[in-house]
Amino acid sequence: MSFAQLAPEPQMADIPLMQDSTTNQPMKMDFSIPLTGISDPGILFSHFSKRPLLIYYFSPKCPHCQRHFPEMQDLMKEYEKDGLTGIAIGLGGGIKKNDIRLFIDQFHAVIPVFQDANGKFGPVYGTGYIPVVYLVQKDGTFYRYETLNEANMNHMRATLNKMFKK
């Protein structure tokens, strides 16, 4: 028996598309939600509709968000050539724009970064926990990853590979 036969199968989470609780139909991302552009004040959230999109929802002061950001940005870059766009959305509330700018500098963010300054994104799509990653398909339906453990990351990669027929 070879070592490969002894290796356990990689864990894979079973993440369904987000459902609208009133219709039990797949939920669609609302690209009309007003977000404040931090890295590029002129860019609108609506610019990212109708394309595969990976959204990293975070707080600049959250240690888990800081730990996972480089990994998520690398994943975004890896699939960029296939047509994936990646963005980050920082929390609103008591978070200052300057805190997000410091995060951008500290973690060398090269993706567009927004802030949910009006608190409209989080209540609709959030869970109260951060970071959260949303994988949005061209039709606007999406998956929500509430933890970035191995099983969820494997699901995300498998879904990206399926989206881009890899």
Whether residue 3 is predicted with pLDDT greater than 60 in this model: the reply is no
Give residue 5's pLDDT. 58
Per-residue pLDDT reduced to its tens digit, 47-67: 999 999 999 999 999 999 999
Nearest to 150 by CA among 50, 11, 7: 11
Give residue 8's pLDDT. 61
Per-residue pLDDT band for 94 (boundaries 50, 70, 90) equals confident
Q: What angle do CA 99, 104, 108 make, to 5 degrees?
A: 150
Per-residue pLDDT reduced to its tens digit, 11-27: 888 899 999 888 989 99
Span 133-153, average pLDDT? 95
Sheet containing strand 142-145, strands side by side: 36-37, 113-115, 85-90, 53-58, 132-136, 142-145
Question: How far, in Å, CA of 17 to CA of 9, rounded?
Answer: 24
Per-residue pLDDT reduced to its tens digit, 102-136: 999 999 999 999 999 988 998 888 767 899 999 99
pTM for the structure as a whole: 0.91
